[in-house]
């Protein structure tokens, strides 16, 4: 795990909304932006596209951190900048926790999630993904980035378990980015110089046919970016790494081949995390993630999904995890006796904000048939370049 300190390009953008600095404010961003427009018609044109960009930015960063970018969006040259009532004593860089070292896909997601940052400085703070959650809860970081799923390999169950285990941590945004596995080596190294290729097991699986065609030794490593750094620092000439373009740039490696993977359609989905309720918004391109257990077990899942469907709310994803609070359910058998069944927590993504009346009503309806219900986050959906 690493903590990246992201220094915004404008000093106003460094206003902190981190845990411990002050309580996050629940606001309606759209209403606030319209209020800002009032009386500024001569200086600002607020298109629907600009409004959407501002909402997405504020959903990612929290309103205060997004101020500098909002000024860029709404202010014309020579116009007085809007007064957001910021306390200069709260101005500091955004601190983002992510797993691995600089050059990792998580590092790339962190910099993409916070595009106003001028730089990322990483500090080693542990190997386990749970460090991201504890770092947030302790107030040492303002945001965290964790991988949630891969389009070819499916969800990362361990990270979903961590979300369920840490109720203070909420999803504040998501980022879906294409995966471009590159074959990286030290400068001046050719294919004929290589003896082995190393990478994370998932990346090796994505490049299996290409690896077989090269007939080189293949070795699994826990962190491809760390392996790339070792190849660069130790000037290892017989080893190539399957990694990201950002790793090549970070460590000065040569990109021997881009798109080294076997097939396209490979995307990573990352979740942006924060502590507390944070700002809430209405608008388009929203998603809400809800976790719940069912009093009647799996047999009640259809009824639970109907709670959303009957209100015209589209369910876009359904996951399930073991219910650690009640892992086994004893069910009466028709012929007598009891049958042990595994019990689960279901996690669904639905379209719409939790401020949407239909979504709020669906969550309330779900509570009537569930052992527990918890909204894990309501946030904007964003795709990276």
Tens digit of each residue's pLDDT (9 = 90 or more) over 299-310: 889 999 999 999
Residue pLDDT, tens place only, 58-67: 544 444 344 4
pTM, rounded to two decimals:
0.74
Mean pLDDT of 241-257: 96
The answer to whether 149 and 214 have CB atoms below 8 angstroms apart is no
C-alpha 43 chain-centroid distance: 35
Strands 239-243 and 182-185 turn out to be antiparallel
- CATH homologous superfamily of 282-380: ACT domain (3.30.70.260)
In the prediction, which pLDDT does 308 show?
A: 97
DSSP 13: G
φ, ψ at 324 (rounded to 5°) = -65, -25
* pLDDT on residue 24: 38
pLDDT band at 359 (very low <50, low <70, confident <90, very high): very high
pLDDT at 116 over 70: no
| Residue-wise pLDDT tens digits, 149-192 | 999 999 999 999 999 999 999 999 999 999 999 999 999 999 99
- Mean of pLDDT over the chain: 77
Domain layout of the chain by residue ranges? 1-147, 182-257, 282-380
Tens digit of each residue's pLDDT (9 = 90 or more) over 271-283: 999 997 655 555 5
What 3-state class would DSSP assign to 207?
Answer: coil
Q: Is 52 exposed, middle or buried (0-12, 13-18, 19+ CB in 10 A)?
A: middle
pLDDT bin (cut points 50, 70, 90) of residue 297 is: confident
Question: Considering the chain, what percentage of its residues have pLDDT values greater than 90?
Answer: 48
* Phi, then psi, of 359 in degrees rounded to 5: -65, -45
Distance (Å, whole) CA 271 – CA 202:
19
Question: What average pLDDT does this structure show over 198-218?
Answer: 96
CATH fold of 182-257 reads D-Maltodextrin-Binding Protein; domain 2 (3.40.190)
Of 250, 215, 214, 246, which is closest to residue 230 (Cα–Cα)? 250
pLDDT tier at 130, thresholds 50, 70, 90: confident
Is residue 85's pLDDT more than 60? no
């Amino acid at each position: 795990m690493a903590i990246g300190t992201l220094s915004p390009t404008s000093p106003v953008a460094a206003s902190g909304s981190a845990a411990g600095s002050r309580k996050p404010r629940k606001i309606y961003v759209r209403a606030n932006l319209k209020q800002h427009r009032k009386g500024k018609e001569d200086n600002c044109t607020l298109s629907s596209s600009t409004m959407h960009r501002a909402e997405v930015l504020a959903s990612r960063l929290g309103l205060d951190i997004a101020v500098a970018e909002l000024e860029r969006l709404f202010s014309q040259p020579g116009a007085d900048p809007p007064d957001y009532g910021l306390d200069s004593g709260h101005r500091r860089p955004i601190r983002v926790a992510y797993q691995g070292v600089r050059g990792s896909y998580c590092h790339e997601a962190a910099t993409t999630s916070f595009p106003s940052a001028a730089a990322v400085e990483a500090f080693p703070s542990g190997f386990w993904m749970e460090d991201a959650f504890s770092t947030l809860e302790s107030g040492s970081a303002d945001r965290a980035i964790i991988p949630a799923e891969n389009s070819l390999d499916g969800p990362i169950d361990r990270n979903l378990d961590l979300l369920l285990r840490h109720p203070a941590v909420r999803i504040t945004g998501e980022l879906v980015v294409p995966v471009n596995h590159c074959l990286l080596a030290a400068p001046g190294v050719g294919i004929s110089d290589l003896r082995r290729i190393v990478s994370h097991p998932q990346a090796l699986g994505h490049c299996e046919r290409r690896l077989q065609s090269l007939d080189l030794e293949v070795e699994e490593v826990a962190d491809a970016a760390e392996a790339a750094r070792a190849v660069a620092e130790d000037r290892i000439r017989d080893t190539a790494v399957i990694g990201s373009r950002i790793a090549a740039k970070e460590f000065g490696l040569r990109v021997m081949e881009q798109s080294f993977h076997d097939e396209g359609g490979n995307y990573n989905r990352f979740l942006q995390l924060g502590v507390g309720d944070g700002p809430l918004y209405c608008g388009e391109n929203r998603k809400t993630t809800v976790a719940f257990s069912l009093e009647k077990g799996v047999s009640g899942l259809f009824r639970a999904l109907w709670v959303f469907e009957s209100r015209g709310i589209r369910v876009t994803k359904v996951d399930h995890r073991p219910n650690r609070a009640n892992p086994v359910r004893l069910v009466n058998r028709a012929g007598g006796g009891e049958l042990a069944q595994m019990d689960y927590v279901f996690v669904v993504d639905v379209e719409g904000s939790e401020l949407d009346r239909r979504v709020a009503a669906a969550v309330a309806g779900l509570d009537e048939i569930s052992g527990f219900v918890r909204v894990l986050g309501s946030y904007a959906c964003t795709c990276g370049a």
